Structure 1
Amino acid sequence: MKSKWTLAIVALLAANLVTPVIAQAESLDELNRKESAVLEQSDQISSEVQSALTAANETYAQVEATKQAISDNQAAIKKAQAEIVETEKVIAKREAVIAERLKNIQVNGSFEYNWSALLTAENITDFINRAMAITQLQSMEKEKIDSLHEEKTKLEDLQATVESKQADLKENEANLEAEASDLDNKVADLQAQLAKKQSTLADIAASKELETARIQAEKEKAAKEAAEKKAQEEAAKEAAAKKQAEAEAAAKASAESSAKESSSTSAQDSSSSAESSTSESSTNDSSSTEDSTSESTTPSEDNNGGNDNSSNGNYTTMSFESTAYSYAEPGASYFTASGTDLRTNPQAVAVDPSVIPLGTLVEVEGYGLAVALDTGGAIKGRIIDVHFDNVPACTNWGRRQVQVKIYR
């Protein structure tokens, strides 16, 4: 009966020890589910960041092209204005000549001179030739004046057209810059969301580590207590078996003593003395065994108690030496130091985190907007390694000095 009660107690203790472990395992599963969900969200945000970076770089390229068109158009305006000024000067000179001729006609009677020239002709042929010459001269002068006026009109029309185009280009530039600013804000917002998700992942990882350690400690404690209980049971069984053996031996000795009483008094005394001696010895051995058992259980009970920088409000500009790398290079990894897959997020740069923290949005001269996602053994101090998805682009980039805008 006692053995059954002992087994029941051990089973109950084992059940109580196992139940918390299962509950904690469920808690760890919940942490894993949360981690998977946050990782999926982070990948989606990272993809959105890359799309926004690509759109921003394309918009900045359009802004630069528009600025170049404005510059070229401004040069055309200046050229047209200069040609208008020169044409006006020529027109003014020719008008002055005509005015002088009209003045001479009024003062000297040039009309009579023309008639005189005709009347002094030697014959009819000479008369006709002189009349045609006078007419051609007057017609040529008029054509020159008309031609200059037409040229001036064309130049004025050209200037009006160029100025209208210039206004359109400036309006387009303003719209593109506004769009680029909106994209910058979108990238910054996505970066903040991504940083928040990364912080959440770090918290989940820390919780998982603590939970795993606690579960392991619970398992070790359960195993230790089970081993101690088993040892106590074995000791109790051994003590009970020993007591039973001693009792059987005592009974056997008593029976033998009773059988010898009938043979002789001396033999009875001797047998009684021997029986008494045997009984005392058995009693002493039993006491010694119980003391030993008590002492052996005591430790188990004890164990159960155990400067070339510049900046404004949004970014800081610094000078860097730049190189290039690609995941397509032999032996290169697809993943950055921050765990980002370069195949889906190619717009990345490698930096020294003590200069530019990982996750920072930067704009590299000649490369565009990117995110600091990687590090490298040779990337120390003001060195920045821009990423391309092909090796020829890296070769074309080479090694150069660039200005880098580091956004806050």
Structure 2
Amino acid sequence: MNHTKRIGKLLLAGLAASLTLSITQVQGSTLDNLTQEEQKTESQIASLEVTIGETLASINLKQMGIDDLKAQIAAAEENQTEIKTAIEAQKEVIASRKEQLKSRLVALQTSNATTNQILMLIDSENFADFINRVYVVGQLQSADNEQIKSAISEEEKLTALEKQLDDEIQAVKTAESRLKSESTALAGELSSLKGILSENKTVLSQVKTEYATEAARLAAEEAQAKADAESADVAARAAEEQQVAESSSVVIGSAATTASSVQESAVASSEPAPVSQITDSSVASAEPAAVVTANAPAVTEAPAAQGKTVVVSATAYSRHEAGLSNFTATGIDLSVNPMVIAVDPSVIPLGSLVSVPGYGIAIAGDTGGAIVGNKIDLHMEDLNAALSYGRQTLTITILQ
């Protein structure tokens, strides 16, 4: 039976050691996956930030183009106003000339001017005088015709110029509208990119929190497994010592039986002295061994966590305090992983797992202006517990 117990304890020690190795392998695999996910998310964030910067540059360039087009539109509209004023003035001149020509034509039709011109030609003194008078009459009619043509041409030019200005203004306004539309689209794209960036940062924060939580959990499991393995090993050694002691008891029992036989033989032969010597020596040698066997202790206390110990002054805080947020300086969400302590990174590296008496295993994931040197600040979900914690001197362990 004792032999069976010993074998069972040895198997338990081996199983504990195997479990420790398995937990270590799982820990490395899980943390590697979280690290890869964190790196992937950080890479996506960096790419998004570059894209956002390029989009902002495009928006700024288009805005500059819009401002330039607005200046062109303002100048064209001012020029158009001046030309319209000139057109209106010219139209008044043209209308006046048309009225004058109309009056003259009416006068020619209602007067004897045509007869007078004919009489003037008839009254020519000679042929040369006739030619000169014909030329003069022709010049007068040509002058009237030129005035009419000039007025019509000027009116047509002004109208064409006005139409050209209208076309130019419309083209600039179309370009402005297109740039505004593109700028609006870019602004929408920028807003979408910012949303994606925000989501990626949230994912990154969650990954970091999961990493910290998983690391703390696996470290605790590994420490517990190591403690169980060491306890099992101590139990196995105690079982071996017990078996050795039981073997000694068997030997002592055999010696006692032999001594008793000798004693009986001595009594039968009436030789008491030898019996007395044998009995005394046998009992003297047997009694200490029996005592040792009965009082052999079994050590089952688990060893303390391995790591660097530091004496610190500890205080407490809570995310529920006014002015505090759910996120630490390293991005850990305290509503998801409340087991966080604020440290001085020069004393306790950020990201370390720390065993704090009366608090548990936490991650060094926050900092504070007042946390300098050998000081820590324990985060507590219960605000009243944090306020009543006060200041305590503790010996903490930075786990290896």
TM-score over 0.5 (shorter chain): yes
1:225-264 deviations in Å (ceiling 9; x for gaps): 1122222222333344345456656766887895996895
Matches of 1:105 and 1:283, distance apart in 2: 164
Matches of 1:283 and 1:51, distance apart in 2: 88
Change (3 A) 1:31 1:282: closer
Aligned length: 300
Worse-matched range after superposition: 191-200 or 23-32: 23-32
1:279 to 281, 286, 307: 286
CA contact (8 A) 2:252 2:286 kept: no
Which structure 2 residues correspond to residues 8-407 of structure 1 after superposition, within 5 A?
Answer: 8-23=11-26, 25-39=28-42, 41-42=44-45, 45-46=48-49, 48-95=51-98, 97-98=100-101, 132=135, 135-136=138-139, 138-245=141-248, 248=251, 258=262, 265-287=272-294, 289-290=295-296, 293-294=297-298, 296-297=299-300, 299=301
Matches of 1:109 and 1:147, distance apart in 2: 28
Change (3 A) 1:34 1:232: same
Change (3 A) 1:263 1:146: farther
Matches of 1:102 and 1:6, distance apart in 2: 138
- Structure 1 unaligned blocks of 5 or more: 304-336, 339-408
Matches of 2:27 and 2:288, distance apart in 1: 55
One-letter amino acid matched to 1:275: S
Q: 1:78 deviation in Å?
A: 1.8
- Structure 2 unaligned blocks of 5 or more: 306-328, 331-400
CA contact (8 A) 1:246 1:282 kept: yes
Change (3 A) 1:300 1:208: closer
Q: 1:34 deviation in Å?
A: 4.1
1:104-140 deviations in Å (ceiling 9; x for gaps): 7789966687789889999988887676566545534
CA contact (8 A) 1:21 1:218 kept: no
Matches of 2:256 and 2:160, distance apart in 1: 142
Matches of 1:236 and 1:104, distance apart in 2: 148
Q: 1:224 deviation in Å?
A: 1.4
Q: 1:61 deviation in Å?
A: 3.7
What TM-score results when the alignment is normalised by the length of structure 2? 0.58
One-letter amino acid matched to 2:229: A
Change (3 A) 1:242 1:132: same
Change (3 A) 1:133 1:277: same
Partner residue, 1:319: none
Matches of 1:263 and 1:243, distance apart in 2: 36
Matches of 1:147 and 1:263, distance apart in 2: 176
CA contact (8 A) 1:254 1:275 kept: no
One-letter amino acid matched to 1:276: V
One-letter amino acid matched to 1:67: K
CA contact (8 A) 2:256 2:282 kept: yes
Q: 1:88 deviation in Å?
A: 1.9
Q: 1:154 deviation in Å?
A: 0.9
Change (3 A) 1:112 1:159: same
Change (3 A) 1:107 1:4: closer
1:247-283 deviations in Å (ceiling 9; x for gaps): 6567668878959968952343244234334433443
Worse-matched range after superposition: 160-169 or 44-53: 44-53
Change (3 A) 1:145 1:241: same
CA contact (8 A) 1:49 1:190 kept: yes
One-letter amino acid matched to 1:273: D
Partner residue, 1:326: none
One-letter amino acid matched to 1:12: L
What TM-score results when the alignment is normalised by the length of structure 1? 0.57
CA contact (8 A) 2:121 2:130 kept: yes
CA contact (8 A) 1:25 1:215 kept: no
One-letter amino acid matched to 1:201: L
Matches of 1:133 and 1:10, distance apart in 2: 139
